Structure 1
Amino acid sequence: MSPSPRDLARRLVALAPRELREKVPRDHLESDEAFHRRRRVVGGVSVAGAGLLGRSLASEPDSTEFYALTLGVAGTWTAGAFASGPLHLGWEQGDDNQLRRPLATPVVLGVAAFGAFYGAALVCRRIPVLNRALTDILAFADQGSAPLVTATTFANGAAEEVFFRGALYAAAGTHHPVAKSTAVYALATTATRNPALVLAGTAMGTLFALQRRASGGIQAPLLTHLTWSALMLRFMPPLFRRDGHDTVDTNRPPRV
């Protein structure tokens, strides 16, 4: 008899590093009124943010519209996160059983995640639909202003963590918050109509949510996200550089 998806998930978690599977002691209890208010805010912001995200990646790389909409997405996630209620930084428990803010481990996980994605990217280059999707999305980094692309990438990475692993994770309640928050995160990326982003959002969303679950806060996933983003921004675009930056194929749908 083959194992169920739940059993497979438990086995994978059991193989994960201690920082992803062992919860630190914490107390984030809030009143029913505060919890329901958080859910209302999160629901509205999720729809608004996903809509802006889809519009931002339908615009042209290095355009004023792209930068304005991208910063608008970051502002929406951030404002929604802080409007929903308290956010927590979280802790990690060292070998000495002392609690401390997570610093080095999240950075190492970010580097490891990039390594896994780089290896996967080499495979995706041989799959036309994923090669095209990655070429389209990385054109924003390859053709854009380096300072502006870096700023918007980091702003959105941080904003996604305070919202999805902060506000939304807390709004998911105590019943399968990892699965719920990851599902909403992946669903939000479907607004871009880019399969590579949806797959990346599902994979990284799971990792970030496990970090949130273990640490009880947003600092660990935030540091991992920013580390991963910085390496992706630096090393991934050359693998999927489009020949002729100024060439536009009018028979294709807008870039997403």
Structure 2
Amino acid sequence: MSGGLRGALDALRARSRGVLPRGLGHAVAPRGPEPAAVVARRRRTVGAVCLAGSGMLGVSLAAKPDSPRFYGLALATAATWTVGSLVSGPLHQGWIEMQDGVRRRPVVVPVLTGVGAFGCFLVGAQVARRVPALDAAVRRVLRFADEGSTPLVVLTTLANGAAEELFFRGALFEAVGERRPVLVSTLAYTATTASSRNPSLVLAGAVMGTLFGLQRRATGGVQAPLLTHLTWSALMLRYLPPLFREPRFRDVS
């Protein structure tokens, strides 16, 4: 390799360090122990809210689409997660640390991560359409979008997405402390989606819960997973229902 090409590559690497973030394997340094009273309050609140929110999620998804009962329960579920998070104690926005050591508020990278996650799910949807059990499960979820009022469906979807991040990657993550918070928060999130009795939601909860947990650990706050969740949810809501309205098999005769 010539000296000029090597120099150009070295310069490119140096510039990229200022625009590329550290990977999801990065973990921010702990902020130090919280007062015992705050820790105790967090754990009591998190336990109660987790049970209440899981029950309300299951009941809301059992309601008839486009009914006042569904919208009321969906918004009440979001309010439960949010109020529980705020009552539990202080939450942190977090920072994205770039490869050159500079820290920035996480905005662009989380949004792009949400777009990338949606792309992966879009590919997975093509597979799900060919698996009868998954196809039926996804269609049961998407009927809320197909049969509901678009503004209300968007409102309830985004409100719950933001509220879930405040609780699971905020209050619960803080309550767990250093005892495998990514694993514990993901398991709790997945168990909560199981109250829907829908395998497609449980699978999505496990996959995205892991991603959100890694983002939370890498940034030290809720802003990155929250923005990723909202971006992913909005794209799923916009582009997934039309895909599942199409027939699974086309007559080519």
TM-score bucket of the superposed structures, by smaller chain:
0.7 to 0.9
Give the structure 2 partner of residue 207 of structure 1. 211
Pair 1:139-2:108 in alignment:
no
- Residue 219 of structure 2 aligns with an amino acid whose one-letter code is S
- 8 Å CA contact 1:142, 1:241 repeated in 2: no
- 8 Å CA contact 1:91, 1:215 repeated in 2: yes
Give the structure 2 partner of residue 175 of structure 1. 179
Pair 1:86-2:90 in alignment:
yes
- Equivalent-residue separation in structure 2 for 1:20 and 1:102 (angstroms): 13
Shift of 1:19: 3.6
Pair 1:23-2:18 in alignment:
no
Shift of 1:95: 3.5
Pair 1:66-2:70 in alignment:
yes
CA offset digits 1:28-86 (Å, max 9, x no partner): 53012211210110000000000000000001111111100000000000000001000
Pair 1:223-2:195 in alignment:
no
Equivalent residue runs for 1:96-175 within 5 Å: 96-175=100-179
5+ residue gaps, structure 2: 1-20, 248-253
Shift of 1:97: 1.6
The aligned length equals: 227
- Residue 121 of structure 1 aligns with an amino acid whose one-letter code is A
TM-score, normalised on structure 2?
Answer: 0.87
- Equivalent-residue separation in structure 2 for 1:202 and 1:170 (angstroms): 19
| Structure 1 vs Structure 2 CA RMSD | 1.4
The DSSP-based 3-state class of the residue aligned with 1:102 is coil
The DSSP-based 3-state class of the residue aligned with 2:152 is helix
- Percent identical residues: 58
The DSSP-based 3-state class of the residue aligned with 1:87 is coil
5+ residue gaps, structure 1: 1-16, 244-256
- Equivalent-residue separation in structure 2 for 1:242 and 1:139 (angstroms): 14
Give the structure 1 partner of residue 200 of structure 2. 196
- Residue 170 of structure 2 aligns with an amino acid whose one-letter code is G
- Residue 137 of structure 2 aligns with an amino acid whose one-letter code is A
The DSSP-based 3-state class of the residue aligned with 2:39 is helix
- Equivalent-residue separation in structure 2 for 1:223 and 1:19 (angstroms): 17
- Equivalent-residue separation in structure 2 for 1:25 and 1:182 (angstroms): 21
- Equivalent-residue separation in structure 1 for 2:32 and 2:157 (angstroms): 30
Asked which structure has the greater CA Rg, the reply is: 2
Distance 1:94 1:232, change over 3 A: same
TM-score, normalised on structure 1?
Answer: 0.86
- Equivalent-residue separation in structure 1 for 2:155 and 2:40 (angstroms): 34
- 8 Å CA contact 2:22, 2:97 repeated in 1: no
Give the structure 2 partner of residue 239 of structure 1. 243
Shift of 1:119: 0.5
Distance 1:23 1:142, change over 3 A: same
- Equivalent-residue separation in structure 2 for 1:229 and 1:192 (angstroms): 17
